[in-house]
């Protein structure tokens, strides 16, 4: 998974463009107010960078079968005597989030095919707001896949699992907090079912 998100540079080194994704999102923030506009002006250099990233990410197929099987097994669960039940190890939550990010990435790709063509065939320095949202969402999903997969790999190599700081769940900045508040946590779900 990590290898599919990396980009090979001209000097043959590999890199994940997390800083470029973060900078692009910060330079072109989207709020609900922007949803009322049709086009957003973007710098030609930024447009070219995003076009290159989209070309790189288009056609990437990340499979979740093995990850899903691991999540269905008890590999990343431990028995808690005080609860009298299994509980998820911290890495399980990271792997579960990785599984969801990969599925979300695939859905984002499906909706972006037209947008990809529009951005790298156009010489304009404007982009439709709907395309910008789709592009930023795809880039954020790719970043989260890279960050989560890297954290899981480090855990499997013997390090403690640390949940990375992820990109937002939506590129619309003033909706992130509301969406996150609506999401039920694993602890809330456990309390609900009586654990």
Residue 117 pLDDT grade (very low, low, confident, very high; cuts 50, 70, 90): low
Q: Per-residue pLDDT for 38 more than 90?
A: no
Nearest CA among 146, 152, 165, 58 for reference residue 102: 146
Tell me the range of 22-36, 56-70, 111-125 where mean pLDDT is highest.
Answer: 22-36
Is 89 in a helix, a strand, or coil?
A: coil
Span of 67-71, 74-78, 177-181 with lowest mean pLDDT: 177-181
121 or 55: whose pLDDT is higher?
Answer: 55
178 or 84: whose pLDDT is higher?
Answer: 84
Mean pLDDT of 180-191: 76
Q: 61: exposed, middle or buried (C-beta count within 10 Å: 0-12, 13-18, 19+)?
A: exposed
The neighbour count for residue 189, using CB atoms within 10 Å, is: 10
Given this model, what pLDDT does residue 179 score? Answer: 79
Question: CA-CA distances (angstroms) from residue 125 to 46, 67, 110, 115, 118?
Answer: 9, 40, 24, 14, 11
Given this model, what pLDDT does residue 187 score? Answer: 72
Given this model, what pLDDT does residue 113 score? Answer: 58
Residue 25 pLDDT grade (very low, low, confident, very high; cuts 50, 70, 90): very high
Secondary element (H or E) of residue 77? strand 77-80
Nearest CA among 135, 158, 136, 161 for reference residue 148: 161
Residue 64 pLDDT grade (very low, low, confident, very high; cuts 50, 70, 90): confident
118-156 pLDDT, tens per residue?
A: 555 566 678 889 888 989 999 999 999 999 999 999 999
Write down the domain spans for the chain: 7-193
């Amino acid at each position: 998974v990590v290898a599919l998100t990396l980009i090979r540079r001209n000097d043959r080194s590999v890199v994940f463009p997390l800083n470029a994704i973060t900078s692009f999102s910060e330079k072109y923030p989207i709020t609900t107010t922007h949803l009322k506009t049709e086009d957003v002006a973007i710098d030609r250099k930024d447009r070219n960078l995003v076009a290159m990233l989209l070309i790189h990410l288009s056609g990437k197929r990340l499979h979740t079968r093995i990850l899903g099987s691991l999540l269905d097994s008890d590999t990343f669960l431990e028995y808690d005597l005080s609860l009298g039940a299994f509980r998820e190890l911290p890495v399980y939550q990271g792997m579960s989030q990785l599984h969801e990010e990969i599925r979300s990435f695939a859905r984002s790709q499906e909706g972006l095919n037209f947008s990809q063509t529009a951005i790298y065939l156009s010489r304009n320095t404007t982009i439709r707001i709907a395309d910008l949202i789709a592009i930023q969402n795809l880039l954020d999903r790719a970043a989260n896949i890279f960050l989560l997969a890297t954290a899981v790999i480090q855990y499997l190599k013997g390090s403690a699992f640390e949940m990375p700081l992820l990109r937002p769940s939506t590129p619309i900045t003033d909706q992130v907090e509301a969406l996150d508040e609506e999401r039920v946590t694993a602890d809330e779900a456990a309390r609900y079912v009586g654990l």
